Structure formats: C-alpha cells, structure tokens
Amino acid sequence: MDERPASAILSEPAPSVGTVWAAGVLLETYGLRAELTDLRSERDRNFLATADTGRQVVLKVSHSAENPSVVAMENAAMDHVAQVDPTLAIPRLVRTRDGSATVPVKAGDGRSHVVRVVTVLPGVAADCLDVPRGFADDLGRWSARLATALRGFFHPAGGRAIEWDPRRVHELQPYVERLDPSRRDLVAGVLERVVGIGERTASLPAGLLHADVTMSNVLVQDGAITGLIDFGDMHHTARVCDLAITITSLLRVVAATGGDSWQASARVLQGYQRTIPLDTSETELIGELVLARLAATVLISAWRAPENPDNHEYLTGLDAGSWLLLDQLTEFAPEALASRFMGLCGTSRVRSGQRPDPSLIDRRRTVLGGDVAPLFYQEPLHIVRGDGPWLIAADGRRYLDAYNNVAVIGHEHPAVVSAIVGQARVLNTHSRYLHQNIVELAERIVATMPEELDTCLFVNSGSEATDLAWRLAVTSTAATGGIVTNCSYHGVSAATSPLSSNTWPNGYQPDHVAVFEPPHVRPDGSAPDHREARQRVDAAVAELALQGHRPALLAIDPMFTSAGVLTPSAGFIAGLVDAIHAAGGLFLADEVQAGFGRGGHALWRFLDFGVVPDLVALGKPMGNGHPIAAVVTRRAIVDRLSAKDEFFSTFAGNPVSSAAGLAVLDVIDQEGLTARACDVGDYLRGGVAILADTHSALGEVRGQGLIAGIDIHDAQGEDRSLTLAVVNRLRDLGVLVGSTGRRGNALKVRPPLIWEREHADVFLEALDQALTDLGRSSGRRGDLNP
Ligand code: PMP
C-alpha cells in the first residue's frame, strides 16, 4: 500500500492515460519498444514496461498538479544515493534520448504530465508476503543505510508539508469526528499526548529523508530485502521520525498477525543502530512518534475513504493493524513507553542526568559490602557527569577535579570516547586473533621505553599489572621474597596486597616481604643517596634471609605517592636498582600512579633517574578511565615464564581497550600534556608555598610535574584530622582532593593533566578559603598569582 498523503492534487483525477499512450511515449522519448502493464498507484500512473530483450523499467506519469520541483527533488535524491552508495539498491533514473531526467508530455486528457522512467528492482513489496525471518533487522539496516546515504542531500523542495508526517498529526484533528464514535476518545487521547512532538524533535538530528521506508516500499525476494523504492514522500524531518515511520509500518503487520511487537521493534532498532546509533533524546520519542503516525493513518483513512468509495479498500488497508497497535501502545503512559523504547535501544543505560537520590547511600551500603567499599567525604558525592577537569554532581553542582589521575587527559575526553564507541561498534574480542590495535599500542609503548624493555603484556588493572610483574619476577629468579617501601601500595590481589604495606593491619607483615624507608628528606634537609639506598635494601635482603627468602622483586612507585609524594635523587633510585640486582632480584618501576606524563619531564617517571627497570607496570591513566593496564619488560624475562606456561587474560588488550590506549597516547603527545604538567604543577606548588605565609597549617609542598603532596599540621605537629577537615571543606567549596602520607597528614593533589593555570588558581583560592574557614589562618594574605 502506498502511504502517500492526501493533498490538493488528490482532488483532481489521476492522469487519464493508457498503456498505448505510455508505450508511444516510451518508444519516442526513450527509444524503448515494450509491452506495458498498469501498476497500482494512488495519485500518479505507473506502468511496468517489458522490452523484447526482457529488460524492465517503470514509466511514471506524475499528476499534473504535482509540483515539478518535488519531482525534481525525488530525482535528485535518487541520483545522490546512487552516487554516494552505489550498491544500495534503489531505482535509478533512466534518461531520455536527449539525456533529460524528465519530460513533459501532453496527454489525451488535455493535461500536461511529467513523465520519467526508472529501473525495476527484483522482488515484491514486503506487504504482499508473510514477514520473512530476519526481515526486521534487515529493515532497520536498510533504513539506516538510506538515511546515511541521504545525509548530505539538499533540495529546496524538501520543506514541503506532508499530512502523513507524525509531527503534523494535529492538523488532522477535524477528522476525529469521522471515526467510529467508540474510537474517538482513543485517538483524541493520542493527539493530546503528542502535543508539542514537533518542537521536541526540533533539536534532533534531521535531514531530507525518504520518510516512507515502509512495508509497501521495501522489496523482498527469497526472504531477503532486495531494494527500496518510492521517494514520493521525501521531506525534511528528524531522522527519528523517519525511523518511527518504518517501525510503525512493520508493527502494524506484526500486530495484525499476532506477533510480538517489542521483539520486532527491538530487531529493527538493532539493525538501525548498527549504522546510526541513537541518542536518548531520540529514543525517548520513538513510541510517541509511532502513536502519532498510527493516529495519522486512521485519520487520513477516515477523511479520504468516504470521499473515494471506489478506492475504499485501498485507503483503509492499514486501518486494522493500526487500531490493534493503537490499543496495545496506549496501554503505556508516555514515560513507560519511552522507557521501553530506551531500554530496547540501550540508551536508558546512559545515566547522565540522574537526579539526587537519597536512598542511594543505603542501597549502596547494603549491596556493595558496607565498610569494605567506603565512600569519599563526610558527605558523599553523587557524580553523574565528567567534563574535562570538572565532575558534575546529580544536583548540577560542578566540582574541580584535583584528585583523579585516571582521567589523565580530562574526563570524557571526546577522542577516547570516540575511539571506544567507534571500535566497539566494529569489533571487540579477545587478543587470540590478529588485530592491529593491540600490536600498534604495544609498539607505541615499547618505543617510549629504554631499548632493553622490548616486550609488552596487557592486563586489565594496575593490580593485575603488578601481580603479573611479581609472577614474572618469581619465575625468572626462582626466588620468593619481595621488598617494598613503607607506605607502599601496589595492588589489591592476593599476590600484591602483601606488597602493599600501606594496607597492612597494625603489627602485620608477611614473612616473604621486607620493607625499607622511602626517601623522605630529613629535618636537616639532607636526602638519602645512593649509598643509603643500598644500605636500606641490603638490610631488607638480610631480613628476608632470616625468614628463608631470597628477593625476587623490589617494587617502588617512583613518585612515592602513598608515602606523601616524594622526589628522591637519581642516586637513591640507582642505589635501589644496584642493590636489588646485586641480591639477584628484579626491579619494578610501578608507574601505575606516576606514568603517562604526570612527572612533567617524560612519559615515565623512572626515566628521570636514568635507570632501566626490569619491569614497568602501567595502569590507571592508560585508558583515561577505560580498564587497561600492562607490564613492559625484557623478552628474556617473559621467555622464562613461557617456558612453563602461557599468559592470556580474556579482556586484556582487546580492540576497544587498545583503541582507548592509543587515543590517550595521541592526546598526551599532540596536546603536549607532559610539558604542561610541569608548568601547571610548578605554578600550583609555588602558589601553595605563598599561601603558607598566611596559613600556619600549610607545611612542606612536594612533587614534580602535576602532583603535589601538601603537609598539613597544627601547632602540635602533623595533623591527620585537620587534613581530613581540609579535604572535606574543599569538597564543600567545590574542589576534590584526597589525603596521603605516613600519617595521612598530607593533601594529595593529582589532577587531570589538562589543567591550566586557571584551574590551579581555583584550587588555591579554595584552599585559602578552606583554611580560613577552619580557623587556621595567621591573618596575612598571600599573593595567589605568583
Ligand atoms: N600500583 C600503584 C602505584 C597504584 O597506585 C595502584 C592503584 N592506586 C595500583 C598499583 C593498583 O591499581 P588498580 O587499582 O588499578 O588495581
């Protein structure tokens, strides 16, 4: 059935021309001798022409009242699609002998009609058949493909109004009274609930679309779609309207045959979204647009059928399915219908606009293990969106993120989001097939490391990276002991929590782990050097020996973040490396915190010390929030593991994760974030030092690049509770930081590297205010802009 609008041209009769006349036009104008048969049509006349050669074309005689520019638009659209997507099966225009797209021909009825000829596609209209298997998915794909092909199409005639347009259904209000009285309330109710639907689509993606990819215009052969025809309803509309028209058309048939409308909708949407992913703002409108289109169908039928008794069957052919579907869908209130379609599309899972929910804390405690998974801040934050250096809470308040090193290039960086979404749309699977992304990422990382570090193994978290580093070390050295600093953190796994002295309960120390003091500067200003590093490690090795262990691994975070953010001398780090090598163990630079440019001089902090680690662990910022991590090491170390076992982790280095990793490296590189970390970090620490003139609670400021450990103390010395009070006050003032250090007495400031100096200013002003509010100011004001 041709779902064309009734319009002015319907009041005039269709062209009164016959097959003999049409055959003459075809021969004279196109040079084609053919047998003609009449095809069904509402307002035009169409003839199927079969030439002696077997070639078939359709000769279309447009209504004399048809706006010629609309015909020109249809032709231009077909040419456009043929050009941008040549394999998409739509009719092609056949030119006249002299190369014209159309030709005006005077008919025996005295009127002049525009004639054109198009090619014939195989198959029959889908509304003539039972719906084949897989049709719904295919329908979605074809609809999206055509919409994509038409994306760049423009024609001045595209602004025309079509009565079938679901956004204009209110214009059909006068025909409600022509409906069966028992049905009027239902349709009036639909018209009421879709008030404003046009305005709601006004900001959605739109274009000059086919707007009639329906069962009557989709051709099927052997169970598969073979083509799309009839550009006669083209107009400028929201793409979700175009899609809703397609869905409505299928659902009418599904409803009429007792099928499952939700399943059919899900399939169409799946097929469609493989090419055109939809936004929440679109998917929430699909149901209402379907209802509007159904209302338009029954109203146009009520209007036209009585006026055209000869054509009654044709004009009411869509009614039965429409009524069934109207009954089904109006069972759902608008919100419920929206949420069903959003659920089918997956967009209900994107929760960027959550409202504050007072029950969330209790629900979280109940289901996430209570104290095992604590929240930050006395008054926990409900964050719903990220935007560069900002985090936005459910109440709409914006917080400056001075804490999260994971979002190294800023929250929701579009480059990473696009890389993840784009790759997820194409392929995401494990790494046991060849794939470009994982190889390229490994090559890129290895190229940033000293030559000896030639092998990259992917995992999914920092803990897995250090866990694997531990396993490689144990396998490689055949030893069993670990050496870490006091206040270390290397992970959460069964193998790495013993290496995380920061998390040990009071008085606990695993037998196979020895600790040494991190390189704090002494009160006299002296710092531990190479010799002292060796002494500390030697003592740890001796301690392990007492427990019957030789050292397999010495692990450090080269930024000593959990120890309060320390900046040791190169000599100290070299001393650690020399000492552990002398004892037969390996050296792990755990760059999970420090890596990816935070140190401000190089991508990796260990490079500042001129050492070559045996193992490097990468994690947190590696995917800017997407879980990906890695161990970089020498091939010989890995070979010792592969002599016994292989290493594979299902998600590790998958195409999506690797795409995220590549995007992060690109952005750090192209935006020069490492150097910026240096500049903004120096500025930040300089600003804190100036504030210290005013605020007696501010002590030493440490760090390099964009990280700062800021000691907080009161008159009695280091003060953990004051530090926590400052952290919480800063949160109330809209700035997020954490605490760190031996006694939890230092502020940990570790922002995304995209911070500019202006963000440091926001932090400094808030810190000034927080300390003032907490009564820890000496009354003098510092200059905040050094
Ligand atoms: N190593 C270091 C130095 C870390 O800071 C962390 C996490 N803070 C880890 C390992 C563990 O990483 P994840 O939490 O991703 O397992």
How far, in Å, CA of 357 to CA of 33, rounded? 74
pLDDT at residue number 151: 97
Estimate to the nearest angstrom the gap between the alpha carbon of 372 and the chain centroid. Answer: 30
**CA 592 to centroid of ligand 1, rounded, Å:** 6
438-497 per-position pLDDT tens digit = 999 999 999 999 999 999 999 999 999 999 999 999 999 999 999 999 999 999 999 999
Relative to the CA of 491, which ligand 1 atom is closest?
11
Ligand 1 mutation pick, 464, 467, 487, 489, max ligand atoms within 8 A of CB: 489
pLDDT in tens, 79-107: 999 999 999 999 999 999 999 999 998 88
By alpha-carbon position, which residue is closest to atom 15 of ligand 1? 462
Least confident of 98-112, 580-594, 770-784: 770-784
- The strands making up 124-125's β-sheet, listed across from edge to edge, are 124-125, 218-221, 224-228
What atom in ligand 1 is closest to the CA of residue 620? 15
CA 496–ligand 1 middle distance (angstroms): 10
Q: Which of 115, 313, 80, 288 is nearest to 189 (CA)?
A: 288
User: Quick one: average pLDDT of 342-347?
Assistant: 92
Ligand 1: residue of 405, 499, 592 to mutate (most ligand atoms within 8 A of CB) is 592
Q: Which two tokens stand for residue 761?
A: 């200013």
Ligand 1, atom nearest to 463 Cα: 16
Atom of ligand 1 nearest to the CA of 591: 3
Residue 7 pLDDT grade (very low, low, confident, very high; cuts 50, 70, 90): low
DSSP letter, residue 340: H
The pLDDT of residue 719: 72
Beta strand spans in 646-716 (E): 698-702, 708-714
Count of C-beta atoms within a 10 Å radius of residue 511: 13
Residues 6+ apart with CB under 8 A from 130: 257
Please give the single-letter amino acid code of residue 418: S
CB 421: neighbour CB atoms within 10 A? 12
Q: Which helix (H) or strand (E) holds 469?
A: helix 462-477
pTM of the model: 0.89
* For residue 613, pLDDT beyond 90: yes
Integer angstrom CA distances of residue 300 from 173, 318, 327, 353, 771: 10, 10, 18, 39, 71
Helices 655-670 & 414-426, crossing angle to 10 degrees?
A: 150
Q: 192 or 129: which carries more pLDDT confidence?
A: 192
Determine the distance separating the centroid of ligand 1 and the alpha carbon of 298, expressed in angstroms. Answer: 62
- Taking 80 as the threshold, does the pLDDT of residue 171 lie above it? yes
Q: What is the mean pLDDT of residues 416-420?
A: 97
Encode 252-285: b = buried (16+ Cβ within 10 Å), e = exposed: bbbbeeeeebeebbbbbbbbbbebbebebebbbb
d(CA 357, CA 363): 10
* Three-state helix/strand/coil letters over 388-438: ECEEEECCCCEEEECCCCCCCCCECCHHHHHHHHHHHHHCCCCCCCCCHHH
Which ligand 1 atom is at minimum distance from the Cα of 629? Answer: 15
DSSP 563-611: TT-----HHHHHHHHHHHHHTT-EEEEETTTTTTTTTSSSSSGGGGGT-
- The CA distances from residue 524 to 63, 521, 604, 708, in Å, are 98, 8, 30, 21
- CA of 415 from ligand 1 middle (Å) equals 24
Residue having the nearest C-alpha atom to atom 13 of ligand 1? 462
- What 3-state class would DSSP assign to 681? helix
Contacts for 275 with CB less than 8 Å, ≥ 6 apart:
141, 144, 145, 148
Q: Which amino acid is at 353?
A: G
In this prediction, residue 27 carries a pLDDT of 94
**Closest residue to atom 12 of ligand 1, CA basis:** 462
**Which amino acid does the sequence have at 338?**
A
> How many A from CA of 502 to the centre of ligand 1?
12
Q: Kindly report the backbone phi and psi dihedral angles of residue 42, in degrees, each rounded to the nearest multiple of 5, phi listed first.
A: -90, -50
pLDDT of residue 21 exceeding 60, the answer is: yes
How far is Cα 163 from Cα 176, in angstroms, rounded to an integer? 15
- What's the confidence (pLDDT) of residue 10? 52
Q: What is the mean pLDDT of residues 594-614?
A: 98
- DSSP class of residue 503? G
| pLDDT tens digits, one per residue of 366-398 | 999 999 999 999 999 999 999 999 999 999 999
Instruction: Judge contact between 415 and 392, C-beta under 8 A.
Output: no
Whole-number Å distance, alpha carbon 590 to ligand 1 midpoint, is 8
Report the nearest atom of ligand 1 relative to the CA of 627: 15
pLDDT band (50, 70, 90) for residue 355: confident
CA distance linking residue 584 with residue 474, whole number of Å: 11
Residue 777 has pLDDT above 90, yes or no: no
Confidence class of residue 268 from pLDDT cuts 50, 70 and 90?
very high
Residue 258 gets the label, from left (phi > 0), alpha (psi -120 to 50) or beta, of: left
Question: Which of 466, 467, 493 to mutate for ligand 1's pocket (most ligand atoms within 8 Å of CB)?
Answer: 466
Residue whose CA is at the smallest distance from ligand 1 atom 1:
490
Tally DSSP H helices, then E strands, for the chain.
22, 27
Query: What share of the chain has pLDDT > 90, as a percent?
Result: 87
Tell me the two tokens of residue 724: 């926590």
DSSP, collapsed to helix, strand or coil, labels residue 618 as strand
Of the residues 484, 606, 620, which should be mutated to test ligand 1's pocket, given the most ligand atoms within 8 Å of the CB? 620
| DSSP conformation letters of 209-236 | E-----TTTEEEETTEEEEE---TT-EE
Residue 783 confidence class, pLDDT cut points 50, 70, 90: very low
The pLDDT, as a whole number, for residue 12 is 63
Classify 450 as helix, strand or coil.
coil
Region 111-123 average pLDDT: 93
Q: Is 530 helix (H, G, I), strand (E, B) or coil?
A: helix
Give percent of the chain with pLDDT exceeding 70.
96
- What integer is the mean pLDDT of 325-354? 90
515 close to 485: Cβ distance less than 8 angstroms: yes
Whole-number Å distance, alpha carbon 723 to ligand 1 midpoint, is 23
Q: What does the pLDDT read at residue 782?
A: 30
User: CA angle, 48 as apex, 42 and 53 as ends, to 5°?
Assistant: 170
pLDDT of residue 781 exceeding 50? no
Atom in ligand 1 nearest the alpha carbon of residue 594: 3
Backbone angles phi, psi at 164, to 5 degrees: -80, -10
Give the dihedral sign, CA 155/159/161/162. positive
What confidence category does residue 283 fall into, taking pLDDT thresholds of 50, 70 and 90?
Answer: very high
Q: What is the pLDDT of residue 786?
A: 26
Nearest protein Cα to ligand 1, atom 5:
593
Compute, in angstroms, the gap from residue 593 CA to the centroid of ligand 1: 7
* 161 vs 168: CA distance, rounded Å: 8
For ligand 1, the distance from its centroid to the CA atom of residue 423, given in whole angstroms, is 26
Atom number in ligand 1 closest to CA 492: 16
Instruction: Give the ligand 1 atom nearest the CA of 462.
Output: 12
CA of 466 to the centre of ligand 1 (A): 8
Answer yes or no: is pLDDT of 3 > 70: no
Confirm if 635 and 642 have CB atoms less than 8 A apart: no
Mean pLDDT of the chain: 93
Q: What is the dihedral of CA 68, 73, 78, 82, to 10 degrees?
A: 130
d(CA 403, CA 573): 26
For tokens 């079509």, the residue is 162
Q: What is the mean pLDDT of residues 137-154?
A: 98
d(CA 311, CA 14): 13
From the CA of 489, how far away is ligand 1's center (Å)?
7
Nearest protein CA to atom 10 of ligand 1, as residue: 490
Tokens for 680, please give them. Answer: 């903004």
Mean pLDDT, residues 492-512 taken together:
96
In 601-659 the beta strands, taken as DSSP E runs, fall at 615-618, 629-633
Q: Tell me, in angstroms, the distance from the centre of ligand 1 to residue 385's CA.
A: 23
Q: How far is the CA of 591 from the centre of ligand 1 (A)?
A: 9
Rounded distance from Cα 211 to ligand 1 centre (Å): 53
Residues 355 and 349: beta-carbon distance below 8 Å: no
- What is the arithmetic mean of pLDDT over 334-362? 88
Residues with CB under 6 A from ligand 1: 461-463, 466, 489-492, 557, 590, 592-593, 619-620
Which pLDDT score, from 0 to 100, does residue 11 have? 56
HEC string of 249-299 equals HHHHHHHHCCCCHHHHHHHHHHHHHCCCCCCHHHHHHHHHHHHHHHHHHHH
Which residue of 464, 591, 593 sits with most ligand 1 atoms within 8 Å of its CB, as the best mutation to test the pocket?
593
697 Cα–ligand 1 center, Å: 30
Q: How confident is the model at residue 6 (pLDDT cuts 50, 70, 90)?
A: very low
pLDDT class for 780, splitting at 50, 70, 90?
A: very low
**Using a CB cutoff of 8 Å and minimum separation of 24, what contacts does 667-671 make?**
667/409, 667/413, 667/415, 667/416, 668/408, 668/409, 668/596, 668/597, 668/603, 668/753, 671/409, 671/754
Rounded to an integer, the average pLDDT of 292-306 is: 96
How many other CB atoms are found less than 10 A from the CB of residue 676? 20
